[in-house]
Structure 1
Amino acid sequence: MLLYKTIIGINKQLNKLVNIPFTQLESGADSLTKAGELMSSVGAKKAMIVTGRSSSMAIMPQLCESLKAHDIDYAIFNQVMPDPTIATVANGADFYKQFECDSIIAIGGGSPIDCAKVIGAKVVKDRPVRTMAGKLKIRRKLPPFLAIPTTAGTGSEATVAAVITDPSAQQKLAIIDPVLLPDFAILDPKLMTSLPPAMTAATGMDALTHAIEAYIGTYHTTLSDNYATEAIQKIFTNLPIAYENGQDLKAREEMAWASYEAGCAFTRAFVGYVHAIAHQLGGIYHIAHGQANAVLLPGVLRLLQPYCRQRLDNLADIIGLTGGDAFIEAVSNLNKQLNIPEGFKELKAEDIPMIAKRALEEAHGTYPVPGYLSQKQCEQLLHSLLIEETEEEALTV
């Protein structure tokens, strides 16, 4: 582990030298109407709108009208699916060139925003997506870029990272470069009111994981701590409300801000083991990222508690509890309140050694984890999350 600690120590110092700007924000109900004004301010004439196939019919007309009002043409690329792939990025870059676009607008959850980031990277630096994986592999400004999240979870509108799936390798590729940070973001709570409860829960827990992992990791700073703790307070207060009543605009807006703040925290202080394991589960079984994070989070925190006891005690204080044990229990109880599963039906016991190995390879030397887990610990955690298929379920397959 000495080698990993040395690498992380060096990277910590290098990380301080990297300037990470902040996205220019518009927020509040009906702030979507500002899209045209924002894109016009950077001279956009034809925007590529990157979105998913299920994008709301109520949202797209509002966006398009705002663009038209500022004489901005657009072309809609709606091929993004959950866990966007290398092929989707390539198709998107071809689309951008074919329709002679000069700017990008991403609207949707983390998948469209991440996909749009890498499309932009491929447009300005035409190289295989696999070779962009890692840190600082792009280093060329993207076209003018507006991110419009419709979920409160990934915080991708605030981050310098994007995750793309490589189906052939059953892996997710993390691409990290400050040029991936969107120029603008719109946080409009009205775009989130139709989000189903299960997705509200999963994306909200994704944001909570970002904030917690940023706070307990060794790259944390006063700035990242402030963002992380603000996000954690908002999530514990507002996520249950948004889950129970999706039409509550105040809770939706608070969650949008929490997602953004958590994004600001982890883009400066990074994530940890929860994400490393979740990436493997997503790449192999296509388990939704937010749900994977939520299921893994309490168990990973219990394993890491000996290495970050004071930090977890601090988080307990922030939400009005005493001690790290109480904080971990609060996370577990929040999962229960949101009807998050206690394990993974998709997980296969025979895959666990490979998943653990890949997760540790991703985490060690990359993420500033507070302490190091062993292969055995990681495997034991995954075994504890196996869910046996019932005989009734087997008969319905």
Structure 2
Amino acid sequence: MFLYKTVIGVNKQLNKLITIPFPHVEVGVNSISKAGELMSSAGAKKVMIVTGRVSSMGMTVPLCESLQAKNIDYAIFNQVTPDPTIATVVNGVDFYKKHNCDALIALGGGSPIDCAKVIGAKVVRDRPVRSLAGKLKIRRKLPPFLAIPTTAGTGSEATVAAVISDPVARQKFAVIDPVLLPDFAIIDPKLMTGLPQNMTAATGMDALTHAIEAYIGTYNTPLSDNYAKQAIEKIFAYLPKAYENGEDLEAREQMAIASYEAGCAFTRAFVGYVHAIAHQLGGMYHIPHGQANAVLLPMILRFLQPHCVKRMNELATVIGLSDGEAFIDAVIKLNQQLNIPASFPELQASDIPLIAKRALAEAHGTYPVPGYMNQKQCERLLRQFLVESPQCVNATAA
């Protein structure tokens, strides 16, 4: 624990020396039509559009029309799947070079945006993808880059990080550098109206987790606090509405803004144990990241609450509740409203020690958690998810 506190203390001071800019953001229905104008302003001549194989097909039409209106050529790389892999990044770089592209547009959820970030990183820093893992390994400006999220969850359009999967190691790793921040972001709620309920729920809870972990972590600042609280207030108000009625443009827009705000918060204040464990579950079992976060969040908050009582009470106030216990109950109720499961059927008891070891290595090497969790505690917490169990089980015992 002493070593962890030392590392986090040093990183906190170094973090203050790094300036994280904001992307130029366009918000509103049909704002995707501004893509050509934005890329033209950056001098783009031929854009590589990074997207998924199926989910974004219809959305590429207005995007391509906007580019054509500004005489910008484009090539569509639609090979991105959930949890993009090292191989996908390498294929993307080859595609970028083959088609003589000079700019990037990511269209989709967190997977295409993260994939585009690392494609751009490898274009300017031609090294093995795995060697880019960690902090400040790029340090060169990426090609002009526009992110167009089609889900309200990852906030990747506002962050300096990207997560890539290593299928051989059955593990995810993060690439973190301010140069990964997109130059532009378009938040168009119309692109999100067709999102299925389960994806609306999972991505929305991902955004909530970003905001909460940023707020209770020890790297928080007044700026990150403001973004986190604004996001949390919006998510509790609008996520159930977006879930019940996917065509509700107001709810979709407010959730998209909340996702962006949560991204602004956690890219400055980082995340915590929820993400550290969720990354391992995603890398090992391909559990959707937002869903993993949602299932883990109440249990982790119960564990950490004694270490951050004041901060948890403040979050309760944001949504009109009395204290941190009531706030955790509200998170559980929100999960229930969204039909989030309470366990991980994929989880194997034999994998728990390795999952815990990897999660704690990630968290203790990077994340400013408010309370320390050891290997034994993490394994005990994970065992709670082997079968359906009440989310209110207290995992704080040593």
Q: TM-score, normalised by structure 2?
A: 0.97
Matches within 5 A, 1:1-397: 1-387=1-387
Helix, strand or coil for the counterpart of 2:287? Answer: coil
Helix, strand or coil for the counterpart of 1:281? Answer: helix
Work out the CA distance in 2 between the residues paired with 1:377 and 1:301: 14
Shift in Å, 1:380: 1.2
Note the residue ranges of structure 1 that are not aligned, 5 or more in a row: 389-397
Work out the CA distance in 1 between the residues paired with 2:42 and 2:362: 37
Work out the CA distance in 2 between the residues paired with 1:158 and 1:125: 22
Which residue does 1:393 correspond to in 2?
A: none
Shift in Å, 1:57: 3.5
* Paired residue type of 1:215: Y
Work out the CA distance in 2 between the residues paired with 1:339 and 1:166: 30
Work out the CA distance in 1 between the residues paired with 2:311 and 2:374: 22
Shift in Å, 1:365: 2.9
Shift in Å, 1:387: 2.6
* Paired residue type of 1:265: A
Let me know the Cα RMSD of the aligned residues: 0.7
Work out the CA distance in 2 between the residues paired with 1:252 and 1:165: 29
Work out the CA distance in 2 between the residues paired with 1:365 and 1:137: 16
Which residue does 2:393 correspond to in 1?
A: none
Work out the CA distance in 2 between the residues paired with 1:104 and 1:303: 41
Shift in Å, 1:56: 3.3
Contact 2:56–2:108 (8 Å) recurs in 1: no
Shift in Å, 1:55: 3.0
Contact 2:56–2:107 (8 Å) recurs in 1: no
Helix, strand or coil for the counterpart of 1:364? Answer: helix
Shift in Å, 1:381: 1.1
Work out the CA distance in 1 between the residues paired with 2:32 and 2:379: 45
Q: TM-score, normalised by structure 1?
A: 0.97
Shift in Å, 1:289: 0.2
Displaced runs of 4 or more, over 2 A: 55-58
Work out the CA distance in 1 between the residues paired with 2:54 and 2:342: 28
* Paired residue type of 1:148: I
Work out the CA distance in 2 between the residues paired with 1:119 and 1:284: 23
Work out the CA distance in 2 between the residues paired with 1:62 and 1:364: 44
Contact 1:5–1:365 (8 Å) recurs in 2: no
Helix, strand or coil for the counterpart of 2:387? Answer: coil
Can you list the C-alpha shifts for 1:74-116, whole angstroms capped at 9, x where unaligned? 0000000000000000000000000000000000000000000
Helix, strand or coil for the counterpart of 2:366? Answer: coil
Percent of aligned pairs sharing the same letter? 77
Note the residue ranges of structure 2 that are not aligned, 5 or more in a row: 389-398
Work out the CA distance in 2 between the residues paired with 1:363 and 1:125: 26
Helix, strand or coil for the counterpart of 1:301? Answer: helix
Contact 2:161–2:177 (8 Å) recurs in 1: yes
Contact 1:46–1:101 (8 Å) recurs in 2: yes
Can you list the C-alpha shifts for 1:178-199, whole angstroms capped at 9, x where unaligned? 0000000000000000000000
Work out the CA distance in 2 between the residues paired with 1:54 and 1:365: 37
Shift in Å, 1:155: 0.1
Can you list the C-alpha shifts for 1:45-64, whole angstroms capped at 9, x where unaligned? 10000000013343111000
Helix, strand or coil for the counterpart of 1:365? Answer: helix
Work out the CA distance in 2 between the residues paired with 1:174 and 1:215: 21
